[in-house]
Structure formats: C-alpha cells, structure tokens
Amino acid sequence: MGLLLDTHAALWWLADATALPREAKAAIVGAVNGEGVFVSSVSVLEVAEKSGRRQMPPAATFVADMEASGFRLLAFDTQDAIAVEDLPRIHSDPLDRAIAAQAQRRQLTLMTSDQRLAQYPIAIYRL
C-alpha cells in the first residue's frame, strides 16, 4: 500500500527533522521504491496559506522538493470532496479531513502524528 504524507510529515522529511523517526524515513524510502509516496494538493494549499509563517517554504519550492524526493503529487478531485462528507466529524480542520478522505478513498496509508486523524477508519502510520 502506498503512503500519503500528512503536511507536517512532508515538511519534516524536507527539513530532515528529528521529529521524523528513522523508521519512518526508512518506510518512506521503501515506499518510494515500491507502491509510491504521495503528497496531496491539499498539503500544497496548506503550505501556500502558511508560507512566510512558521518557516514554511514557498508552495512552488515545496512542490519542487516533493518531486525531487520522488514523491507523487495527488490531486484533490470531486470524488475526494464527496468522500469528505462521509467521514465522521472527528477533526474540525477541513484540510486534514480532505487528506483523510483521500487516504481512505485511494486506499493509502496516511503517515501522521495527528491523533485525531488516527481516529478515522483509514490505514495509519503513526509518528
């Protein structure tokens, strides 16, 4: 099963942050060479919205760095939007709910440290 990185997991990868455990880094490398590592266009939106704050890179740089890492960009489409409606209202952040819906609909494992996202009926790689 492929990996879908939550926004913070993708940013930690880029920063080579210690917050991303060695085992998670190994899982990402393995998935790049296997089923694939995905980053949602929703994460690009989140980075664009927060760029300039909290040391976020510009969105174009984020995208280029994701592609250079061998990650695939995953467009958020109409069916993903409809899937959000079927999720329980566990998380109040619409961007996080959108990423959870994509993981569920596309049968991807979501790599995240967000405890609320881990409550959704989706495959989770907990950080």
Q: DSSP character for 89?
A: S
Note the pTM of the prediction, 2 decimals: 0.94
- CATH code (residue 59): 3.40.50.1010
The residues, any chain, with a CB within 8 Å of residue 64's CB and separated by 6 or more, are: none
Which H or E element spans position 106? helix 94-106
Residue 19 confidence (pLDDT): 87
**Can you give the residue range of the structural domain that contains 92?**
3-126
DSSP-derived 3-state class of residue 16: coil
Residue 103 confidence (pLDDT): 98
Q: With 90 as the cut, is the pLDDT of residue 91 above it? A: no
Mean pLDDT of the chain, nearest integer: 94
Give per-residue pLDDT as tens, 9-62: 999 999 988 889 999 999 999 999 999 999 999 999 999 999 877 678 999 999
What percentage of the chain exceeds 90 in pLDDT? Answer: 87
Residue 84 confidence (pLDDT): 96
Number of domains composing the chain: 1
Q: Find the mean pLDDT for residues 105-124.
A: 95
Residue in the block written with tokens 């940013």: 11
Give per-residue pLDDT as tens, 38-48: 999 999 999 99
CA neighbor of 87 nearest in space, from 65, 105, 111, 74 = 105
Q: Could you tell me the two tokens for 33?
A: 């060479």
Residue 52 confidence (pLDDT): 74
